[in-house]
Amino acid sequence: MKIAVLGGDGYCGWATALYLSARGHSVAIADSCVRRQWDAELGVQTLTPIRPLSERVQTWQKITSNTIDVFMGDVTDYDFLSSMISAFEPEAVIHFAEQRSAPYSMIDRKHAVFTQMNNVVGTLNLVFALRELRPDCHLIKLGTMGEYGTPNIDIEEGYIAIEHNGRKDVLPFPKQPGSFYHLSKVHDSHNILFACKIWKLRATDLNQGVVYGTVTDETALDEALVNRFDYDDIFGTVLNRFCVQAAIGSPLTVYGKGGQTRGFLDIRDTVRCIEIACLHPAAPGECRVFNQFTEQFSDLDLARMVKAAGERMGLAVELDHLQNPRVEAEEHYYNAKHSKLLDLGLEPHYLSDSLLDSLMNIAVKYRHRVDPSIMLPQVDWRHPSSERRRRVTDTSEPVAPAKIKRAAASASSAKRGASPLASK
Amino acid sequence: MKIAVLGGDGYCGWATALYLSARGHSVAIADSCVRRQWDAELGVQTLTPIRPLSERVQTWQKITSNTIDVFMGDVTDYDFLSSMISAFEPEAVIHFAEQRSAPYSMIDRKHAVFTQMNNVVGTLNLVFALRELRPDCHLIKLGTMGEYGTPNIDIEEGYIAIEHNGRKDVLPFPKQPGSFYHLSKVHDSHNILFACKIWKLRATDLNQGVVYGTVTDETALDEALVNRFDYDDIFGTVLNRFCVQAAIGSPLTVYGKGGQTRGFLDIRDTVRCIEIACLHPAAPGECRVFNQFTEQFSDLDLARMVKAAGERMGLAVELDHLQNPRVEAEEHYYNAKHSKLLDLGLEPHYLSDSLLDSLMNIAVKYRHRVDPSIMLPQVDWRHPSSERRRRVTDTSEPVAPAKIKRAAASASSAKRGASPLASK
């Protein structure tokens, strides 16, 4: 199958491109490498030393004899996008090419506007390009479970049957996103649903949970294929950050009470879900929604699991409860359906002790690269300003949000940012 | 009360600014006059000869001694918007400053992208400006009843109580907008709801129906205060177009079966609804939604009413059923709630024979200005392309969508575009 991976230099995109290539599909990556620029802008870098995209793809070809075409450009540039679609003639397009960080979108007005423009325009360009050039091509779009927020009812997969005043309909599930980034994904979902309706495009909107893990069978083949492992306050996800904090002897920073519950999945399931979607395309005119995650955890669940994993390695791990920089419920009902991908054959990799141990091993392996100053939340939902950007050039210690309490579990006296293991 | 009217040179904005000024409020208009540029781009003009904004405001001051401040600029320009908010210090901001035509957004990709960027960025800029500069100011935002689409259940005012699998919540009403323009309003609604939640802004989202009429007490005071009367295929609304078609002896162009039912209101109710919202502000953190219309009609209802009004004036009026250029249900359930503004004191002007007669009189008064070539739909939801723009410089007759049937009600032999009353 000919599959284009937009955003194929990013975390999920790179793993997906390699997985699909290894499974015999003909893969092209389109990317502008702007994700690497955002690292530079923020003064952060992935824990794992990723290589330039050209080197990544050349290494893959050397090892496997599989070619991955690279189209270097931005999907918000319609000339680029349409020429890429014309040249490659994909049967499926996986659209990862969006700004994907909630804190990034909350830095200030410019980052909020940029995130919505970048994501909405890229997706609009894509539906117009498919309509014009490849109307039968299957659009697979990465959404997020964060589109739904935390309603007090079960979360269905995209649509909900509503009975109201004696009448019935099946309608798009109401959305309550929690950042300007999450809002951009809601905007995309509405735009795509409409494009399917009027132009009979085929689309699968994957509302993905929080992804963890970095190693897949393919990225493990060579050090030059290593994937991202983001642990900073902007692009890092919670489980990665906890593992790195445990590895360097910093307390795990739980936001508020830590009762925030979300869907999670292993990156090895991300890549498989994408292939499942490709192999079972939506029908013309159909905008299908799958909730793409395998398990639900709260922040505090994860912190306790990482603490236990750290202790198995002989590390003393503490928990700090910081004032929550986000505006979100810290105790809430959460029950999100996620059976459609299982029905199509997904066999989940659940979060196990062995996976946690392997994540901890990666964190320990690369701990000489850790910058402990980039893990404390510096973006405040209630007060967006450009402070986060100024901090990059400020050599003083970042100011942590007020600490609520520290779990009295350990006698460690490690100070944040002062660990002998830290590189800075 | 100090009230800023963003988009105060437009159809609803101008009438609102005058009404509020006449009622003793201190009013400022912010506008870039881009709406006039779109007329030029499309080769169309309002039936009524509107004057430059400067002349309008000077005339108003001469007649009433009331001053209306004018800030000339674009709300997508944050420097302009924030300086305007700082200088005027409004207690309420009415946000009309968006691209408001569904067909305009469907012309081609560029118009779709422009519409969403223009509307979404303007509204994002506004919520950021209010947060920073006037957090207690009441944001009154014009949405549209078209955000809801035509669900098979009653449409509530913004939110719906859902019971699902034994649990309950009140959630945003699911949206099914029918154009990239309507989608932009859905995006705005989600963004504003979020801004209220995280920053405790106060907002009223007015989901307005289709507005008809042109005369208000204030615009009637002087010919230089006359309001827009758009009847073209892009910015014209259905009732205006029917009246103009009847006035020049052209058949009324009903899209498809004409069973599409929507909410409508008189412009005199628009301006009163806005004042009601101003006088009863939302609470801090509240994003209140009012459905702002007074009656429901189908296309065919309206065509028949205009036909009757025309016949009262001795005009022979026919109906043509054209192939629908939009993708929309032509027979559907429609029952939208609209009690909240009534509860706050709105006394509707219902669509009556006398109002229809007055609309017909305006159409007849200005029929020497009618361009009959701009009333046939030239934008096709299924095939967006730039044809509509090329047509401006094309002197041949526009091609009408396939005619389905003509109501055999009249013996008139008038040909479209060949009426002796037409100016071209």
Report pTM: 0.94
pLDDT of residue A420: 35
Give me the percent of chain B exceeding a pLDDT of 90.
Answer: 89
Tell me if residue B168 falls in helix, strand or coil. Answer: strand
Q: pLDDT tens digits, residue range A101-142?
A: 999 999 999 999 999 999 999 999 999 999 999 999 999 999
CB contact under 8 A, A178 and B194: yes
CB contact under 8 A, A194 and B173: no
Q: For A15-50, b where at least 16 C-beta lie within 10 A, e where not — what string?
A: bbbbbbbbbebbbbbbbbebbbeebebbbbbbbbeb
pLDDT of residue A423: 36
Point out the residues of A that are catalytic.
144, 181, 185
Average pLDDT for B7-34:
98
**Shortest Cα–Cα distance, B7 to chain A (Å):** 21
Average pLDDT for A234-255:
96
Is the pLDDT at B397 greater than 50? The verdict is yes
Residue ranges of alpha helices (H) inside A214-368 are 238-248, 267-279, 299-312, 340-343, 353-365
Confidence category of residue A77, pLDDT binned at 50, 70, 90 = very high
B358: left (phi over 0), alpha (psi -120 to 50) or beta: alpha
Is the pLDDT at B165 greater than 60? The verdict is yes
Average pLDDT for A306-315:
96
pLDDT of residue A381: 95
**Shortest Cα–Cα distance, B269 to chain A (Å):** 29
Q: pLDDT tens digits, residue range B36-83?
A: 999 999 999 999 999 999 999 999 999 999 999 999 999 999 999 999
CB contact under 8 A, B160 and A175: no
Point out the residues of B that are catalytic.
144, 181, 185
| CB nearest A109 (choices: B128, B151, B174) | B128
Q: pLDDT tens digits, residue range B206-260?
A: 999 999 999 999 999 999 999 999 999 999 999 999 999 999 999 999 999 999 9
Residues of A in contact with B177 (CB under 8 A): 190, 194
Residues of A in contact with B193 (CB under 8 A): 176
**Shortest Cα–Cα distance, A354 to chain B (Å):** 36
Residues of B in contact with A154 (CB under 8 A): 164-165, 167
- Give chain A's mean pLDDT: 93
Is the pLDDT at B159 greater than 50? The verdict is yes
Say if CB A262 and CB A296 are below 8 A apart. yes
pLDDT of residue A386: 65
Say if CB B307 and CB B252 are below 8 A apart. yes
Average pLDDT for A216-240:
96
pLDDT of residue A330: 94
Average pLDDT for B400-424:
48
Average pLDDT for A255-267:
96
Give the DSSP per-residue string, B15-66.
HHHHHHHHTT-EEEEEE--HHHHHHHHHT---SS-PPPHHHHHHHHHHHH--
| Residue of B187, B333, B334 to mutate, interface with A, max A Cβ within 10 Å | B187
pLDDT of residue A398: 62
Sheet holding A403-406, edge to edge: A252-255, A319-322, A403-406
Q: pLDDT tens digits, residue range A317-361?
A: 999 999 999 999 999 999 999 999 999 999 999 999 999 999 999
CB contact under 8 A, A177 and B199: no
pLDDT of residue B419: 39
Residues of B in contact with A124 (CB under 8 A): 109, 112-113, 116, 180
Q: pLDDT tens digits, residue range A16-74?
A: 999 999 999 999 999 999 999 999 999 999 999 999 999 999 999 999 999 999 999 99
Predicted ipTM? 0.94
Q: Which of B216, B213, B253 is nearest to B229 (CA)?
A: B213
pLDDT of residue A424: 34
- Give chain B's mean pLDDT: 93
| CB nearest A174 (choices: B109, B121, B172) | B172
**Shortest Cα–Cα distance, B203 to chain A (Å):** 17
Q: pLDDT tens digits, residue range A146-201?
A: 999 999 999 999 999 999 999 999 999 999 999 999 999 999 999 999 999 999 99
Average pLDDT for B134-138:
98
| Residue of A190, A327, A335 to mutate, interface with B, max B Cβ within 10 Å | A190
Residues of A in contact with B176 (CB under 8 A): 171-172, 193
CB contact under 8 A, B117 and A117: yes
Token pair 């949970």 is found at A209
Confidence category of residue A384, pLDDT binned at 50, 70, 90 = confident
Q: How many CB pairs under 8 A join A and B?
A: 139
Confidence category of residue B402, pLDDT binned at 50, 70, 90 = confident
What CA–CA distance (Å, rounded) separates A138 from A280?
A: 10
Average pLDDT for A235-245:
95
pLDDT of residue B416: 35
> Worst-scoring range by mean pLDDT, A396-405, B56-65, B319-328, B406-415?
B406-415
Say if CB B236 and CB B375 are below 8 A apart. yes
Say if CB A207 and CB A290 are below 8 A apart. yes
Q: pLDDT tens digits, residue range B351-363?
A: 999 999 999 999 9
Is the pLDDT at A412 greater than 70? The verdict is no
Residues of B in contact with A287 (CB under 8 A): none
